[in-house]
Copies of this chain bind each other. A is one copy, B any other.
Amino acid sequence: MRSVSIVGIGQSPVGELWNRSARQIAGDAIVAAMADATIETADALYLGNMLSGSLLDQEHLATLVADYCGLTGIEAAKIEAACGSGAAALRIGMMAIASGFHEVVIVAGVEKMTDTVGKDTTAGLATAADAEYEALHGVSFVGLNALLMQRYMYEHNVPIDAFAGFSINAHRNGVNNPNAMFQEAVTLNDYLRAPVIATPINIMDSSPVCDGAAALILVATDRVQQFVHGHHRGAVRILASAAATDTLAVHDRRDPLWLEAAYSSSQKAYRQAGISTKEIDLFEVHDAFTIMSALSLEASGFARRGEGWRLAHEEMIGIGGELPISTMGGLKSRGHPVGATGVYQIVEVVQQLTGTAGANQVQKAEIGMAQNIGGSGATILTHILGV
Q: Which of A47-55, A203-211, A296-304, A350-358 is the interface stretch?
A: A47-55
* Cα A13 to Cα B82 with chains together (Å): 28
Complex Cα distance, B64 from A132, in Å, reads 11
Answer whether A81 and B82 are a contact pair too, CB < 8 Å, given A53-B53, A57-B131, A95-B92.
no
As a 0/1 sequence over residues 2 to 38 of chain A, the CB contacts with chain B under 8 angstroms (1 = contact) are 1000000000000000000101000000000000000
Q: Does A108 contact B (CB under 8 A)?
A: no
Q: Are A63's CB and B98's CB within 8 A?
A: no
Identity of the chain B residue whose Cβ is nearest the Cβ of A92 in the assembled complex: B92
Q: Cβ of B1 and Cβ of A76 under 8 Å apart?
A: no
A73 touches B264 (CB 8 A): yes
How far is it, in angstroms, between the C-alpha of A132 and the C-alpha of B23 when the chains are bound? 10
A179 within 8 A of B: no
Is the contact region of chain A dominated by helix, strand, or loop, or is it mixed?
Answer: mixed
Q: Is A72 an interface residue (CB 8 A)?
A: yes
Residue A370 interfacial (CB < 8 Å): no
CB-based nearest B residue for A76? B245
Known pairs A92-B92, A379-B63; A58 contacts B131 (CB<8 A): yes
Can you name 13 A-B residue pairings with CB atoms under 8 Å? Answer: A57-B123, A57-B135, A59-B80, A59-B128, A60-B82, A60-B378, A64-B130, A73-B260, A74-B245, A76-B379, A77-B79, A77-B88, A92-B95
Beyond the given A60-B248, A63-B248, A92-B92, could you list 4 further A-B residue pairs with CB under 8 A, ordered by the A residue number?
A23-B132, A63-B245, A64-B248, A67-B245
